[in-house]
A and B are shown apart, each in its own frame.
Chain A
Amino acid sequence: MKDAVRMNLAVEFCGVTLKNPITVASGTFGFGHEYGQFFNPSALGGISVKGLTPYERLGNPPPRIAETPAGMLNCVGLQNPGIDRFITEQIPYLRQFDTAIIANVSGNTVEEYCGMVEKISDADVDLIEMNISCPNVRCGGMAFGTQPHMVDEVVSAAKKYAKKPLIVKLSPNVADIAEIARAAVGAGADALSLINTLLGMRIDVETRRPVLSNGMGGLSGPAVLPVAVRMVYQVRQAVQVPILGMGGISTGRDAVEMLLAGANAVAIGAALFRDPLCPVKVLAELKHYLAEHHIEDVNTLSGGVVL
């Protein structure tokens, strides 16, 4: 294919070169070991690792998962080994691969966010993704991401400690996503990622009890794609920084849609659980789309929606 030779897939994302715009979303790819059995992670533009906290977190009791029409709810609750063990045990493994490492970090307080950003800045990662949008933890998480003044407070504080590009991951559980995006960028965010999961709930009609242990959980999967596309579009209208778009992507055409809405790169999440090779297929389908439409540079798609 002659077109493939001249095709540029690389994306400059806050000074970090992603070899292509396909990444995997935090919480769906662990630290790479599991899906590394099915494909070489070097195929990816980047890997956002499982959300990290200052200390090990047990996570929520089961059940943590409920299926929904075209998607799923989860209330895993940030189960992770803690940032120190990530740095010593997981970074060396991830560095075997030729892909950007995006460290997703959370805290319970502004001070904890600052500490996490400071510590991860000195580790061998490429980008920091500050998670102010987890719906499944009592403190921190979404509590910081749904009020503009809280976003401003936690992001401006953490930004002072960031020695790597700081991506702020936004919650869709807000009235005005553009307002939140402006607050994050105003406070120093170098980029934004969105959307985290949408807060949802399912009830077992036999027992009349919630299906999830936590009562509520985060919705992901194809069901959320149009919400994610809409929010990426609104954020692109509001701010200039790079956007990592995610939420319901499972095909190359979904990825193109997210790019056209205004994303510079995208992440695959829950679709991995259906098809472990999904990111590889999305990349192949994206290339096919570019070739078919005689597009030489994937970057030209970004924000290309015609109104």
Chain B
Amino acid sequence: MTEEIARPVTIDEITCPVQADCEVSAVKRLSERLYELVMTAPELAVRARPGQFVHVLCGGETFLRRPISICDVSGGSLRLVFQVKGAGTAWLSERAPGDMLDVLGTLGNGFRLSGLGARPVFVGGGIGVPPLLLAMKAARAQGAAPAAILGFRSRSAVILESDFTALGNTEVTTDDGSYGIHGFVTGLLERREYTSVCACGPKGMLRAVAALAERAGVPCQVSLEERMGCGIGACLGCACALRDTDGGLRYGHVCKDGPVFDAKEVVWE
């Protein structure tokens, strides 16, 4: 009886998200407010595409799940990097190996890997950096020579530098000049040659990056963020303004239509 009721309608096993009980295998503090959590999640690992996210049920008196982008996949494990912002993410940062997590995934449309060209550049800012790792890995796997430009507030906020360096030329900027190159990612991007851009970070940064890509005449994909409810496109909570093909405004949803969008579609105001 229960089996029959629980049978999903969509049979495509790879595109159909699942609810999985995942065992935490490691939690590590990366910087002041950023944590890395690795969990054993074979059902999710097989589904994970660069730029997708998972929706994690947290304790700490939270009601809604917390959307967290997938940083990396290896074997049957998923690596998540998240920022402690409130009760849910604080609870998550306090997990220990062996703890179980209720996770929905994998969700959303990730980066489109066709059309990246020979020299894609991955531009990340702060907590926007992690989802670019799996994307850069995929670009390299398909024969491209990817590069990364990663921006952080200061030296103490720098994360994942060696992971990116292993995949291609990686430059780090800090707002205060305490590490790497003093300045913003856009300052570097202006002076580089590239065939496409994949970006994730604060909205102001994404807007500036999209403008540079447009001026350079190369395709640009941006990963957006919005307060999220269901995570699967049912509640219509995580609206983001998009330009329709006829120029009109419409609201798409970050969880289902994104989180990755063609920058040309995004209404930045």
Contact = CB atoms under 8 A, between A and B. Distances in A.
A27 B235 contact: yes
Interface string B40-70: 0000000000000000010001111100000
A272 to B, nearest CB: 7
Interface stretch (B74-82, B122-130, B211-219, B237-245): B237-245
B234 A70 contact: no
Interface hub of B57, B230, B256 (most chain A Cβ within 10 A): B230
Given A37-B9, A40-B7, A76 B63 contact: no
Contacts of B16: 37
Interface residues of B, number: 40
A119 B215 CA distance: 50
A41 interface: yes
A37 B17 contact: yes
B9 to A, nearest CB: 4
A273 B8 contact: no
Interface stretch (A234-242, A256-264, A274-282): A274-282
Nearest to B241: A61
Nearest to B62: A67
Interface stretch (A28-36, A83-91, A178-186, A188-196): A28-36
Contacts of B5: 39-40, 43, 280, 283
A275 B240 CA distance: 24
Given A27-B235, A34-B234, A40-B8, A65 B228 contact: yes
Interface in A261-307: 270, 272-277, 280, 283-284
Given A58-B251, A274-B63, A79 B8 contact: no
Contacts of A276: 19, 104, 230, 232
B227 interface: yes
B250 interface: yes
Contacts of B256: 34
Contacts of B162: none
Nearest to B88: A67
A110 B57 CA distance: 43
Contacts of A50: 236
A65 B226 CA distance: 9
A280 B5 CA distance: 7
A274 B61 contact: no
Contact of A59 (B17, B233, B251): B251
Given A34-B232, A40-B5, A74-B237, A277 B19 contact: yes
Given A39-B6, A69-B63, 11 more contacts: A30-B234, A34-B233, A62-B241, A65-B237, A70-B61, A74-B237, A76-B235, A79-B251, A272-B230, A273-B234, A274-B65
- Smallest CB-CB A-B distances: 4 pairs: A65-B237, A34-B234, A30-B234, A36-B9
14 contacts: A30-B234, A34-B232, A37-B8, A37-B16, A40-B9, A62-B251, A64-B237, A64-B238, A65-B64, A65-B227, A272-B230, A273-B234, A280-B5, A284-B2
Interface of B: 2, 4-10, 16-19, 57, 61-65, 102, 104, 226-241, 249-251, 256
